[in-house]
Amino acid sequence: MADKYNGFIYDKDSNGIVTVTMDMDGPVNAMNEQYRAGMAETLNRLEKEAGLTGVVLASAKSTFFAGGDLKALSSVAPGGEPEQFEMIESGVKAPLRRLEKLPVPVVAAINGAALGGGLEICLACNHRIAWNSPKVAIGVPEVTLGLLPGGGGVVRSIHMLGLEKALPILLEGKHMKAREALEAGLVDQLIEVTEDLVSAAKKWIAENPQAAVQPWDQKGHKVPGGDIWSPKVGAILSSAPAMLFKKTRGLLPAPEKILDVAAQAVTVDIDTALRYESRALAYLITTPQAVNLITTGFFQMNSVKSGASRPKGIEKTSVKKVGILGAGMMGQGIAYASARSGIEVVLKDISMEAAEKGKAYSAKLLDKQIERGRATEEEKQQLLNLIKATDKYEDLQGCDLIVEAVFENIELKAKVTQEAEPYLAEGGVFGSNTSTLPISQLAEVSKKPENFIGIHFFSPVDKMPLIEIICGNQTSDETLAKAFDYAQQIRKTPIVVNDSLGFFTSRVFSTFLDEGARLLVEGVDPVLIDAMGKQVGMPVGPLTIQDEVSQELTRKAAETHRAMGVLGSKGDNSCNIEVCERLISEFGRGGRYHGGGYYEYAADGSKQVWPKLYELYFNADVDMPNDDIKDRLLFRQVIESLKCLQEGVLRSVADGNVGSLLGIGAPSWTGGFIQFVNTYGLQKFIDRANALAAQYGDRFLPPKIVADTLAKGQSFR
């Protein structure tokens, strides 16, 4: 007879096998107080159970187990490490050690996601059987949240797989499909029908009654691939720190702690290593990096993806036919992303040759996937059949969405809008893929401005996960909802912002380029400027990225904005514009793809600073502290983000943080440009910004919203 205690259903069958089904309060099973009480009580019963022959650990939820209670973890203040260590040791570690020391085989029946703590429970079982379904995800993603798998995940995975195989799993935090997990060695068996999981687990127990002792608890156990005395393991551990630093630049403590615990796992006994792992997690929990990554990377990301910015009460829609105007770099990427999601695509350009060239981009991407075994010729043909290349507007007839992706020229955009709009289906949406031009102004030529919206993609479209949706003054909620649904339909993360020159992402990103130019004009070594940009955590330095964007594009955008009478209305990026215009007009330096810009580029892909740049700008007498350079590059973007929030360009803090991470390349350790202020400290931020303003200019003055938020005793949420 089954009975339930604290979310654990306990059911013993006639063969002496107890099935423990986790069915905790709430939508998922998680490592919270209820779990700790339920697991302790369950183990008390199992240890006393007469005639026990085996245990099956199952879940009544669609996910097997969701992992740690992140809300509780992210609210632990510095100084709370000893209590966290005690909780990890007694509430998490001790029960799992008791579970794996039961004198009978224990099998995990994995019916859904087993991530983080969920997988750690499974690793404490003697055998793991998973449902072979896309709904099953297995892995230890804690590193992506600034943490490490502290329920034995680091130590047990190394004792199961060996250091060489386990380290990439631990350091990348990848979600694996069931078959991938089987190949990696984290799962032992796959089942095709979810209802068969428990019976398959019982069958394995019946066939393996002696398999009750974990490998690491058996006499003579050796870590697969060798321990600390193995030359190969020694070589991995000696080279790993340098390789890791190259990736993290010393800005993320979690990967370093994982490596530290991994080294202990191959050096000391299992229980000592597990204790060391607990200390490492207790330390990481209170770091600002973990708080930032959990706040934005988990809670705010989930909020954005679940549709917090989507108007409520409007029925969900899907796009069946999309028209794309312009088959250049952006248009061809949008065509691929749409067709990949099964949407019929009409890709229009001024000539068939240009349109076909745009379509060929999808074929090229699919060929690469076929080469890597990730797609088939049949799948390639199916996708290409969905894309119609054309030079005729008539082929757009019946599109429920048209996305204009032509050059950033207001006259050209107006022309194609007027010519294409009549072919939209009834209630269809017209979207402009502009990166800077105000949507309300672009919508002036539209017959139905309420159906006009900004849909800003990022390059390369096939790789970049973000879409910035921009609402003009007349954009309706129905149009916003349709654009939002389309973004999710093509598997992108949508943020929603209000109209402004540059909106949010381009406006903030341009300040990074401008501050780089200002540092250059002030005489700082260009190599140092880019190095400090990377050292603060940006993907590349501001001079390098300006070359990639191209000085020519910056010049053209400035020209367009001057013609519109809007240049300089939001933010002051005049220095970067002046430098770009000078490099082009005096020296023909238009950027990497225009023969070079700040850098000269060799055929082998290497680069060096254009020597003339030193003559023009470098001043050997300038002695600016590196911390000032880093703070200028970071604070400039943070301040502009805060201004966007203050002015209502950003509709939510979550959109600002997620948008800055996915669209601008904000350093991951910050949790996004607005979240950074929370853990830096609002008063400390005001003080530092004022100090920068006093020394380097009023653009660093802290926006009023910071003092207002501080006065209310709040943070940015």
- Residues annotated as catalytic are 456
- What is the rounded distance in angstroms from the CA atom of residue 116 to the CA atom of residue 246? 25
297-303, Cβ contacts within 8 angstroms, sequence gap of 24 or more: 297/144, 297/145, 297/661, 297/668, 297/671, 298/70, 298/145, 299/70, 299/71, 299/74, 300/653, 300/654, 300/657, 300/658, 300/672, 300/675, 301/493, 301/654, 301/658, 303/654
Tell me the DSSP string of 596-646: BSSEEE-TTS-EEE-HHHHHHH--TT----HHHHHHHHHHHHHHHHHHHHH
Residue 191's identity, in one-letter code, is: I
**374: three-class secondary structure by DSSP:** coil
Three-state secondary structure string covering 543-554: HHHHHHHCHHHH
Antiparallel, parallel or unpaired: β 607-609 and 599-601:
antiparallel
- What is the rounded distance in angstroms from the CA atom of residue 503 to the CA atom of residue 659? 11
**364: three-class secondary structure by DSSP:** helix
- What is the rounded distance in angstroms from the CA atom of residue 687 to the CA atom of residue 450? 44
- What is the rounded distance in angstroms from the CA atom of residue 458 to the CA atom of residue 288? 29
- What is the rounded distance in angstroms from the CA atom of residue 120 to the CA atom of residue 418? 58
Composition of the chain by helix, strand, coil, percent to 5: 55, 15, 35
Residue 697: which region, alpha, beta or left (left: phi > 0; alpha: psi -120 to 50)?
Answer: left
